[in-house]
Structure 1
Amino acid sequence: MFDKSNKLLIASMFLLFCFTSCKTQEEKAAEIHNHAFTIDTHVDTPYHLLDKDFNISEYHAYKRGGSRVDFPRMKKGGLDGIFFAAFTSQRERTAENIQIAREKADELIDSIYTVCDRYSELAEVALNVADGYRLENEGKRAIYIGLENGFPIGTEISEVERYFKKGVRYITLCHTSNNDICDSSTDRHGAEFDGLSKFGEEVVKEMNRLGILIDVSHISDSSFYDVIKLSTSPVIASHSCARAICDNPRNLSDEMLKALAENGGVIQMCILDDYVRAPDKNSERYKKEMELRERYRKMGKMTKEEEQKIWAEWKQLQIDYPKDKPTVADAVDHIDHIIKVIGIDHVGIGTDFDGGGGLKDCADVSQMMNITIEFLNRGYSREDIHKIWGGNFMRVFKQVEDLAEKVKA
């Protein structure tokens, strides 16, 4: 016969079993997700900050052509940190165009500080790894700053340190075309330097010295291998996928993934559809987008009105010609492949929200939990999920900081 205490013990064990095993997959995902430090390493939200009608402190239900990121939606999606990219497009490399790009990058960076100062109870600009964890504990969003495209640096090495002092913590060396630093993976005219330029080599060394993460997304394969060979710090691909799954030059081949792992770096899975799944080049949407991009490339100096017009056209394109987006499952196929090739310690997430990123079932930052649910569905452990959502990237970030401190000492 069981006495009363034994019955109570059995009842307690049963309740504990139910609590741990009877949770839904969504509840399990939420518990794991909310105990991780989660970070998205690439969004283009700063351009929305220049729109006087956009208030990042307010919740915006997602609609085509609208922003995919704001502070309340970050909280709902359980996202602790994010890199806001100060993006400048490539232009002819004249002194005037470089100065225009420099002013635009500064304007975007300043807009980040402005909104973080204005809504300091919700978010704060973060400058290092420790800031991210501190702000998580305070219930605030940690807003890091990246510079997407080294074009504004021109050929002035002092600009690298100036951007560091402005809070930039990674620099994407180039964008869709070659610049003075290196060759791009998508320049229509092909290679110019066959990798890094001589000036680009100096930029890599300076970024190592200062503790700025080197971002190899967008750069050519030869540029990538030059960076890997030269950098004394681990590098990142802030928003790229696996080329073996989607054959796009913006993605990393298996050989590049292996080199990245040997370097100690990390690739952050992007959820921009063309990098997740090959686009239908015969679609009307694809043709319209290429027309818009081509017109944008040909423009030199733009007035604010012209800039606003082309930005409005881009948003309208999303409305008039919506894409058949891939799913979270399609995106996680890339993570599965990356882990198969180089292991769990070298992969994270960089969505490219507000720069084209978004999936059928992860349209904005409020739906980030859907990625965690997919991880659980595939048997990923709590430890694995924590690594992917931020642990791997923050480890690399800390190594870059520490190596720079050693140099300074």
Structure 2
Amino acid sequence: MTRLPVFDAHLDLAWNAQLGRDLTLELDDLREHDPVAGQTACVTFSELRRAGVAACFGTLFACPAGEDYPQGYEQGEKDGWKGARRQALSQLDQYQRWQDAGYIRLLGSGAEAAAHVAVWTPEHSGPLGVTLLMEGADPLKSASDLDYWRAAGVRLIGPAWGRTRYAGGTDAPGPLTGRGHELLIAMRETGVALDASHLDDASFREAAPLQPKMIASHSNSRALVSGNRQLSDEMALSIAEHGGVIGLVGHSKFIRPGWEDGDTRATFAEWASHAGHYSEIFGWQHVGLGSDLDGGFGLEKAPAGIQRYEDVLRLLDEVPEEVRDGVRGGHWLKWVEANL
């Protein structure tokens, strides 16, 4: 039986390249020479193809300076955008070079995505379809900068990661800033969709009425794991009412309450419980994948049983058979075709 291709709504591909990883290698070769210590890689282009991943949202992620990444950009109201912009432009260039080399195909519309998936097969080594998602809006100087990034291919923006110049975010409570309100209105007017992952509750409540196209690329349920990194039932229901989809993120910390580094990895059944909880609120049609591999963590923090990307699909064994194709990619593909 032919299965629908996989769509993963959150892959930090260019971020990994920025860390020095060569995603054009076979996975075993990458692991042998991996420049990133303590995070066993699971993602390369050949791995994604082997798993049946036809398309994804590929991020432009600018990382602020911190203990784990001191070379990141310095946040600030006046000039904080400059370092963030440099990172995002470098990652944009990486995606364009991958496209020139035939590893990916940048997809700027729902029609392009539908055409790509219709002919894509892993046997013929088809390129990975990538629609660009900006994770954290600090690379934009202001809302007036949106036209540039849309022309460059960005079709979704998550205003926050932690706190940004636009919104409160993970572990950084707060509402939209004035600049954030302007950005949300500009996104609505230009058709750029909102990724609500990482938005703090206060920012989410203000953003949702401003944006008809809203998803959460990689967010599990707060009913099962506390903290503002996860979606409350109210937030999840709002995304579903917007017609959006929520991607299930594969970090054990966001799957099992109280999980800490070194603990036994979460199980696929625990991961699927987040999907089951969402289905009780609004049905399965708004649930998909948003693995976030290798987004700052490797197999050490992914669910037990994941040794490489294709193992992510074992999650589907834990959901009802009749919804597996939808969770695998059908729900995301339907949303993309209708909204981008």
User: Which TM-score band (shorter chain)?
Assistant: 0.7 to 0.9
Q: Secondary structure at the match of 2:218?
A: strand
Q: 1:213 to 1:389 in 2, by over 3 A?
A: farther
Query: CA–CA distance in 2 between the matches of 1:389 and 1:164?
Result: 28
More helix by share: 1
Query: CA–CA distance in 1 between the matches of 2:278 and 2:270?
Result: 13
Q: Is the 8 A contact 2:224 2:257 kept in 1?
A: no
Q: Is the 8 A contact 2:252 2:259 kept in 1?
A: no
Q: CA deviation at 1:328?
A: 1.7
Q: For 1:5-404, list aligned pairs within 5 A.
A: 31=1, 35-50=3-18, 54-61=21-28, 65-90=39-64, 91-118=74-101, 120=102, 122-136=103-117, 137-139=119-121, 140=126, 141-154=128-141, 156-177=142-163, 179-187=164-172, 190-191=173-174, 195-231=175-211, 233-280=212-259, 285=261, 324-355=264-295, 356=297, 358-375=302-319, 379-381=320-322, 384-401=323-340
Q: Is the 8 A contact 1:270 1:351 kept in 2?
A: yes
Query: CA–CA distance in 2 between the matches of 1:102 and 1:399?
Result: 30
Structure-2 residue corresponding to 1:316: none
Query: CA–CA distance in 1 between the matches of 2:205 and 2:334?
Result: 22
Q: CA deviation at 1:280?
A: 4.3
Q: CA deviation at 1:173?
A: 0.8
Q: 1:352 to 1:370 in 2, by over 3 A?
A: same
Query: CA–CA distance in 2 between the matches of 1:364 and 1:240?
Result: 21
Counterpart residue type for residue 261 of structure 1: A
Q: Secondary structure at the match of 1:143?
A: strand
TM-score normalised by L of structure 1:
0.71
Query: CA–CA distance in 2 between the matches of 1:361 and 1:212?
Result: 36
Q: Is the 8 A contact 1:353 1:364 kept in 2?
A: no
Q: 1:51 to 1:272 in 2, by over 3 A?
A: closer
Q: Is the 8 A contact 2:110 2:339 kept in 1?
A: no
Instruction: Write the deviation string for residues 208-241 of structure 1: whole angstroms up to 9, x where unpaired.
Output: 222222011111112112122222x230111100
Q: Is the 8 A contact 1:327 1:362 kept in 2?
A: no
Count of paired positions: 314
Q: 1:131 to 1:364 in 2, by over 3 A?
A: farther
Structure-2 residue corresponding to 1:302: none
Query: CA–CA distance in 1 between the matches of 2:3 and 2:14?
Result: 28
Q: Secondary structure at the match of 2:217?
A: strand
Query: CA–CA distance in 1 between the matches of 2:185 and 2:155?
Result: 15
Query: CA–CA distance in 2 between the matches of 1:273 and 1:212?
Result: 31
Q: 1:327 to 1:103 in 2, by over 3 A?
A: same
Task: List alignment gaps of at least 5 residues for structure 1.
Answer: 1-30, 286-321, 402-409
Query: CA–CA distance in 2 between the matches of 1:133 and 1:367?
Result: 25
Instruction: Write the deviation string for residues 329-381 of structure 1: whole angstroms up to 9, x where unpaired.
Output: 21111101100111112111101111126322234322233122333xxx331
Q: CA deviation at 1:55?
A: 3.3
Q: Is the 8 A contact 2:223 2:232 kept in 1?
A: yes
Query: CA–CA distance in 2 between the matches of 1:380 and 1:280?
Result: 29
Query: CA–CA distance in 2 between the matches of 1:248 and 1:277?
Result: 12
Larger Cα-atom Rg: 1
Q: Secondary structure at the match of 1:249?
A: coil
Structure-2 residue corresponding to 1:288: none
Q: Is the 8 A contact 1:87 1:149 kept in 2?
A: yes
Q: Is the 8 A contact 1:248 1:275 kept in 2?
A: no
Q: Secondary structure at the match of 2:183?
A: helix
TM-score normalised by L of structure 2:
0.85
